[in-house]
Chain A
Amino acid sequence: MSGTPRTGAPFIVTSRTGDATRPPMEEGHTLNAYLASGGYQGLRKALTMNPEEVVAEVLASNLLGRGGAGFEAGRKWSMVRPNPVRYLVINGDESEPATFKDRMLMERDPHQLVEGTLIAAYAIGAAQAFIFIRGEFALGMERVIAAVNDAYRHGAIGANIFGSGFSVDLVVHPGAGAYICGEETALLESLEGKRGYPRIKPPFFPAAIGLYGEPTVVNNVETVSNLPWIVSNGGAAFAALGQGRSTGTRIFALSGHVVRPGNYEVEMSKLTFRDLIFDPELGGGVRGGKSVKAFIPGGASAPWFGPDQLDLPLDQDAVGKAGSMLGSGSVIVMDSDTCAVRAAWRIARFFHRESCGQCTPCREGSGWIDKVMRRIEDGQGREEDLDLLMDACDNIAPGVSWPPAQTTICVLGPSIPSSVAWSIRMFRDEYLLHIKEGACPCP
C-alpha cells in the first residue's frame, strides 16, 4: 500500500510524511494544536522566499487543482494578469453530489486551509483573499471563522505578516445554497452579491477578469490545503509521490454501497478503483458482499464506469482517457441491486434543481429530462423516450461524448447527459424492462 499514512475510518490524513507530529483530527482545529504540530511553518518559510520562488515550488510539485477541472495550480497562478489589484478566492462551496472532502478539511483542519490560503495570496501578491464557504456548512464556517480570528491575533493575517512586510486580509464569505456557485465565475458573481450566474469564458477567465473585474485566482480548498506541506517539504517531495501528471496524494470521497464510506487520502496513481473500494483499510468492499454494478469516478457530473473499469488507476489522465473524469475526487459505488434508472434520474433531478437558468438548453432541457426519466422510473415510459432522451442530451452536449461539447455557457449543462446518456448506453435493457413492465423491476 505504498506507505501512505492513514489512521482509522472514516478519516482523513493531512500529513504526508507519516510522522506522528500531527494531532488527532478531533482537536486539530484549534490554533494551539495546529501550532504544536508545526503549523504556520510553511507560511513562515514562504515569507522568506520570493513570491516567484513559491510559485516555482508549486510548479515543481505539479499540484493539480482539486476542485474538478484538474488544472495545474502553479500554472494558474502564473497566468494572473499583472495589476496591483489582485484577488484570491478559495472555493469552499463543495456541492458536487457525493463530494465531502472540503467539508472535512474545513471542519477538522481549518488552520491548514488558512495557512494554505495565505501562502497562495503571498505567491500571487493578493492584498485581499476570500474563503467562500458553502452556506450549509455551519460547523465548517464556525471553525474557519474562528481560525481566521485566531490567525489574525497570531500575526499570520493582516498587516505585515510575521514581520515580513507582506500584508493581506482574509474574509470568510458564506454562500447561501446554490450548487452552481461552485463554478468559479458564478462564485465570483455570488461574491459580488448577485445571482449566481456563470460568466462566459471567454472573456471572463478569472485570471484576466475576475472579482470586480480584476485579475483573480480561484482555488479549491483541498488544493490550497496542500500548500503548507509543499512549501515545507519542497515541490519535488510532492512530485515524488504519484505518477506522471498525477502527483502527490489526493483525498477520495468514497460513498454509496461500500462497507466503509469516507474520505481516504491516498497517493495518486498508485492505487486502482478496485483497491479504493475493496481494500479492508479503505472502502472495505461492497455492502452485503454484492458485486459492483457501476461506479461514478468523479462526482455526479462524471460519466459512469462499469465493473470492467475497476482496475483503472486513480490517475487523472488515465481516467480521462477511459472516458470520464476524476473530477472532484468522489467515487460513488452502486451495487448489483441498484436501479440504474432511478440512480440516473436522481442525478438528472439534481441538475434540474440546480440549473441557474441562464441557458435555454440547460434550463429547459434539464427539466424535460428529469420529467421523462421520472416517468420511465414510474413505469410510464415509452420506447421512443430513450431516443428522445439521447437526442435531448445531444442538444445540450452535441455528440454526447467525453470530454463534452456544449451548447451552454458553463459545463453544468453538459454534465446532465453524464448520468442519463451513459446509463442508457450501459443499461438499455433495464430501461426497456421498465417500459415493458410498466414498473421499476428492481428489488
Chain B
Amino acid sequence: MPVSVNESGIPSEDTVTITVNGKQIAAAKGEMIISATDRAGVNVPRFCYHPRMKPVGMCRMCLVEVSGPRGMSLQPACYLPVADGMEVVTDSEKVRKAQDGVLEFLLVNHPLDCPVCDKGGECPLQDQTLAYGPGESRFVEEKRHWAKPIELSDLVLLDRERCIQCARCTRFASEIAGDPLIDFFSRGDSTEVAIAPGEKFTSYFSGNTVQICPVGALTATPYRFAARPWDLEQVESTCTSCATGCRVVVQSSSNQVIRYLGVDSDPVNQSWLCDKGRFDFEAHRAGSRVTVPMVREGGELVECTWAEALRKAAEGIGRAMEVASDPSSAVGVIGGARLANEDAYAWAKLVKSVIGTDSVDADLGDGLPADAVLGLPKATIDEVCSAPLVLVMTPDLRELAPILFLRLKAAAQSGRTKVIELTSVGTALGRYATETLVYRPGEAASLVAALFADSDPKPLAAGMEIPPIAGVAASDVARTRALLAGFSSAVAVVGRPSLAESTEATVAAVAALSAARPETRYLTVHRRGNLHGALDAGLAPGILPGRVTLEGGRSTFAAESGWGRVPASTGMSTHEILRSAAQGSLGALILLGADPVVDFPDHESEKALSGGAFVVAVTAHLCESARRADVVLPAAMYAERGGTTTNFEGRVTTLGKKVTPPGQAWEDWAIAAELATALGSDLGFTSFDDIAAERTRLVPLFRHFTPHIWNAPSTRDGVLLPLATAPVGLTGAPRALDPVATPGIGSLPHHAVRPPSPSPLFAGTGTTGPSGAVASPGAVRFSRPASPPDLPAPDAYSLRLVAPYRLYDCGTHVVGSAHLAALAPVGTVRVNHYDLDRLGASTGDTLRAVSPGGSHQVVVEVDDEVQRGTAVMGFNLAVAEGSVSARSLIDLSAPVTDIRLEAHR
C-alpha cells in the first residue's frame, strides 16, 4: 500500500489530528505534544525537555491545557503523547498563570547574577523570564547558597546556585554518553549535581552538558569569560577533527575562534559533539602555528617572503622533475586529508597534471586503501543504525569516531540493531554489543571466513575438541555464525583496527566478508578528517578525481579542456614514498598537512626525511616533519577557510570561514595555484568558485554539484554524491534551531554559508542520489586480494602488538589546545597480568621491548581487558623519558608486529 506523506513529512497512516489553540494540526502517533507544537511553530516554553533525550517532565515549564476525560487540565506538553482529537491550548489565562508561577519558583533560589554569568544574553531562563515570566520576584527570603564553581572535570565547571535541576546534564551523561559519572545528590531544594568522591566527570562527551545546560550552571573552562554572547559572530560548519563530520557552528569574537556548538544534524551528530572536536579550536592560536613562509638557510629555517619561498620550492621540485624519467618516482606528495575538498582538487591538479607525479597519498598508512573506501558499496550512518544487524570491525569507535560510537550505542540500546563486534581488545562498544568476538590481532580474515562458512568447523578427529579460530572459541564462532545466518542483508562498519597490523590484514577480512556476502554494504571509517574528500579529489595513487581510476579518467582529464596531462602509471603509496625517500631515491617530497615523522606507523618513518629529498611542508603548525623541511609554507586552518568537506559516509557538507588566517597563512588551494605559477604553469583558478566550476564540468561524480545546492534547506545536512538529478529539491521543511535545546545558537544572528539567492534552476523537486560508487566506466572498484597475507604462527614468548588510536594523542590539534593536551594519556604497553607475572614485572615497570624496530625501553601496565599473548600500546602518545612510543615498535611491511618483553638487566 502506498503510504502518502503529508506536508510535515509524516506518513499519513501514522498521523493523528489534534487541535492547538483552535487550529487543527497533524501529529505523529505517539509523539509528545511538544514536538507537534514545535513543528506547527507554536512555542511552548520548556527547560528539561530536550528533543534528543527521553522526556522527564520535571521542570513543569511546558504545562498546557489538554482535554481529557475530566475536561481540560494542565499537562506537561513534553510528556503527554498526542491522541486523535485531542485539544491543546497553549495560551490561555490558566496556562500563562502556571508558566508565570513556574518561572517565579525557578527564580526563588536563582542568584540572578546574569551580569557576570557566561550564559547572560543567551540564557533560556533569562529569555523565557522576559517572554513568560512575572514582572518581578516577590521572594524576599534568604536564597540557597553554595560555594561558587566546583570542578566536575578539567573541562567542566559547575555553579550550583544557578542550577535549575532540569537533569539535562545527568541524563545526558547516563542516557546518551553512557558515562553516569555525574548524578543528582541530596533531595528537594537541596538537590545538586555531583560526582563521586575522588572521581571526575571524565567523559569524552562532557562538553555536551555545557551546551545543553539551559542556565549558566555548567561552563566550559576553555570558554569561561572569553566573550559575551552579543559579541559573538557565528557560521555553520562541519567539524573535521575526525571523519564523522559533525555539524557545528563556529563562533568567534575579535577574529578569534571562541567556541564550537553542535548543530542538530539528524543523519550525523544529532546535536552532539565529542570534547576533542568541541575544544580543539585552541589550536588555531597555538604557539606552534606557522604564520610566515620559511626556507632553510645554513641549516636553519628562516622567515622569508612568499615569493622567495615559492621560488625555492619550485626550484627544488623542478630539479627533482628534471633528473627523473618518470615524475612518479621523483616527486612524492603525502597528505591532503586536512584540506577542504576544493583545496584537494586544486592540489590534485597541481600534483598529477603540473608536476605529473602519481605518487600522492592522503592516507598515512593508517586507513583502508582508496579502492576500499571509494569502491565498496556504501552505507550511511543512518543505514548502519537502523539495520537489524551490524558487523563492526574497527578500532574502538569511542576513540576513533566518538559520535558514531554514540549513534551505534543508541541503536544497540534501542533494541533495533544487533551489533556483532570483532576486535582484538575490549572496546567501549562491547557493553552494548550482542556478541563481541576477540580475535588474535591480524587474523580477522580467518574469523570472518569461519563466521560465514556454510557449516560449523569440524573437529580434526572424532572425540577431539574443535580448535579455536583466530583465538576465538569454536562455540562462540558457532553461536555468532547462527546469528549472522538469520540476517539476509548485512551492513558492516570497517576500519583499520590497529596500526600495528598491515592494511593487507584488514583488507583480507573485508574481502572475506565481501566474498561471502556480496550484498553487504559498508561504512568505512578512518580517522583523518577529510580523507574521503581527498580521495574523491584523486589524492591517492592510481586514481583521478571522481572515484575513477587513472585509466578510467584519462580520456577526460588528459584532454585539452581538462588538465592537459595525467600521470602515465600508478605511483607510490605513502609507505613506498617514505621508503624511497629514506633510500635517497626520491627527489622531492611535499607534505600536505602531514607529519610522517611521528604520525606514520612504521619504525623507519623518521629516516625518510634524512634521505636527502628536498622537502616542502605545507602546514599550519611547525610539526616534527616541518622542522626538517627545506621550505615551510604556512597554511590556513579549519575555521579560516571555506569550501566543503566529506565525511566517511561520503557526505559532503559545508565548511564555514569565520576568522582570517593569522599572519601570512594562505588557503591551500591558493598555495597550489601560486606554486603552479612558480613552476611555470597555470591551474586556471583564481577563486574557489573556479575550482568548483571546473570540478562540476569535468567530474561526473560532481555533476549537479554546484554552489547553489546549498540554498535548499534539505541540504543543510549535506549531500551524498553522486546527485541523481539537478536541482536538489526542497524536500523537508527547514529545521529551526531550537534555542532551548542548544542555547547560544538560535539567539545569535544566523547566516548560512552562502546567502540564499533564489535561482530558477531550483524550482523543481528532486532528491539526493543513492549512496554508492559512480556507475561511470573506470569507477574505482574494491579489489579483493587473491589470498590473505601469511601470518607468523603465534609463539609462546611473543606478544602480538595492537596499536589503536586514542582520541587524545600527540596530534597537533590536541597538543595545540592547552585544555585537551593535559588529558592525553601517557603511552604504556598494556598486557594481561598473566603475561606480566611471567616476567616478574608489574604496573609501572620499565621493560625492554624487542621488536622488528629494534630493542627499546617501554613502560608496562597490567590490563586484564587485554587478552593473553597480546600487547596494546596507543598510537602517537607521549611516553616516559627514555622509552619509545608505539611507532618505534611497528614494522608496517609485515602483516603483524610481534614483540617480546624482557626484564631489564
- Contacts A200-B57, A408-B60 hold; do A356 and B138 have CB atoms under 8 A apart? no
Contact A354 B139 (CB under 8 A): no
Contact A398 B138 (CB under 8 A): no
- Whether A173 is near chain B, meaning CB under 8 Å from some CB there, is no
Contact A364 B58 (CB under 8 A): no
Which residues of A sit under 8 angstroms from B94, Cβ to Cβ?
398
Contact of B59 (CB < 8 Å), options: A200, A355, A360: A360
Question: Which of A5-13, A73-81, A224-232, A368-376 binds B?
Answer: A368-376
Which residues of A sit under 8 angstroms from B57, Cβ to Cβ?
200, 409
Contact A395 B105 (CB under 8 A): yes
Q: What is the chain B residue whose CB lies nearest that of A387?
A: B138
Which of A357-411 touch B at CB < 8 Å? 357-361, 363-368, 371-372, 375, 388, 392, 394-396, 398, 405-409
Contact A360 B141 (CB under 8 A): no
- Contacts A360-B164, A365-B105, A368-B108 hold; do A405 and B74 have CB atoms under 8 A apart? yes
- Looking at the assembled complex, report how far the CB atom of A335 sits from the nearest CB atom of chain B, in whole angstroms: 31
Residue among A200, A202, A358, A388 facing the most chain B CB atoms (10 A cut-off): A358
A102-B56 Cα distance, complex, nearest whole Å: 32
- Contacts A395-B98, A395-B101 hold; do A357 and B189 have CB atoms under 8 A apart? yes
Contact A398 B61 (CB under 8 A): no
A375-B108 Cα distance, complex, nearest whole Å: 16
Contact A407 B184 (CB under 8 A): no
- Whether A178 is near chain B, meaning CB under 8 Å from some CB there, is yes
Which residues of B sit under 8 angstroms from A368, Cβ to Cβ?
105, 108, 139, 141
Which of B48-86 touch A at CB < 8 Å? 56-61, 63, 73-74, 76, 79-80
- Contacts A358-B58, A360-B164 hold; do A366 and B184 have CB atoms under 8 A apart? no
Contact of A367 (CB < 8 Å), options: B80, B104, B188: B188
Which residues of A sit under 8 angstroms from B101, Cβ to Cβ?
361, 392, 394-396, 407
Which of B130-149 touch A at CB < 8 Å? 138-139, 141-142, 144
Q: How many A-B residue pairs have CB under 8 A?
A: 97
A360-B94 Cα distance, complex, nearest whole Å: 17
Which residues of A sit under 8 angstroms from B190, Cβ to Cβ?
357
Which residues of A sit under 8 angstroms from B291, Cβ to Cβ?
none
A408-B142 Cα distance, complex, nearest whole Å: 24
Contact B187 A407 (CB under 8 A): no
Q: Mark B161-191, 1 if CB is under 8 A from A, else 0.
A: 0001100000000000000000010011111
A34-B165 Cα distance, complex, nearest whole Å: 50
Contact A407 B58 (CB under 8 A): no
Contact B141 A357 (CB under 8 A): no
Contact A372 B141 (CB under 8 A): yes
- Whether A245 is near chain B, meaning CB under 8 Å from some CB there, is no
A359-B101 Cα distance, complex, nearest whole Å: 12
Q: What is the chain B residue whose CB lies nearest that of A395?
A: B101
Contact of A361 (CB < 8 Å), options: B79, B105, B188: B105
- Whether B751 is near chain A, meaning CB under 8 Å from some CB there, is no
- Looking at the assembled complex, report how far the CB atom of B133 sits from the nearest CB atom of chain A, in whole angstroms: 13
- Contacts A195-B184, A405-B73 hold; do A367 and B189 have CB atoms under 8 A apart? yes
Which residues of B sit under 8 angstroms from A408, Cβ to Cβ?
60
- Whether A352 is near chain B, meaning CB under 8 Å from some CB there, is yes
Q: Mark A126-157, 1 if CB is under 8 A from B, else 0.
A: 00000000000000000000000000000000
Contact of B191 (CB < 8 Å), options: A354, A363, A405, A406: A363
Q: Mark A245-275, 1 if CB is under 8 A from B, else 0.
A: 0000000000000000000000000000000
- Contacts A361-B105, A398-B74 hold; do A352 and B189 have CB atoms under 8 A apart? yes
A219-B138 Cα distance, complex, nearest whole Å: 42
- Looking at the assembled complex, report how far the CB atom of B74 sits from the nearest CB atom of chain A, in whole angstroms: 6
Q: What is the chain B residue whose CB lies nearest that of A203?
A: B81
- Contacts A355-B188, A395-B97 hold; do A361 and B74 have CB atoms under 8 A apart? no
- Looking at the assembled complex, report how far the CB atom of B92 sits from the nearest CB atom of chain A, in whole angstroms: 11
- Looking at the assembled complex, report how far the CB atom of A173 sits from the nearest CB atom of chain B, in whole angstroms: 20
Contact A375 B191 (CB under 8 A): no
- Looking at the assembled complex, report how far the CB atom of A149 sits from the nearest CB atom of chain B, in whole angstroms: 33
Of the A-B pairs whose beta carbons lie under 8 Å apart in the complex, a sample of 30, sorted by A's number, is A352-B189, A355-B188, A356-B188, A357-B184, A357-B190, A358-B58, A359-B59, A360-B60, A360-B106, A363-B165, A363-B189, A363-B191, A366-B188, A366-B189, A367-B108, A367-B144, A371-B142, A375-B141, A395-B97, A395-B104, A395-B105, A398-B74, A398-B97, A405-B73, A407-B60, A407-B98, A407-B101, A408-B60, A409-B57, A409-B58
Given A360-B61, A371-B142, 16 extra CB contacts under 8 A: A178-B187, A195-B184, A202-B80, A355-B188, A355-B189, A356-B188, A360-B102, A361-B60, A364-B189, A366-B188, A371-B141, A375-B141, A395-B101, A398-B74, A398-B97, A398-B98
Which B positions have Cβ atoms within 8 angstroms of A? 56-61, 63, 73-74, 76, 79-80, 94, 97-98, 100-102, 104-106, 108-109, 138-139, 141-142, 144, 164-165, 184, 187-191
Which A positions have Cβ atoms within 8 angstroms of B? 178, 195, 200, 202, 352-361, 363-368, 371-372, 375, 388, 392, 394-396, 398, 405-409
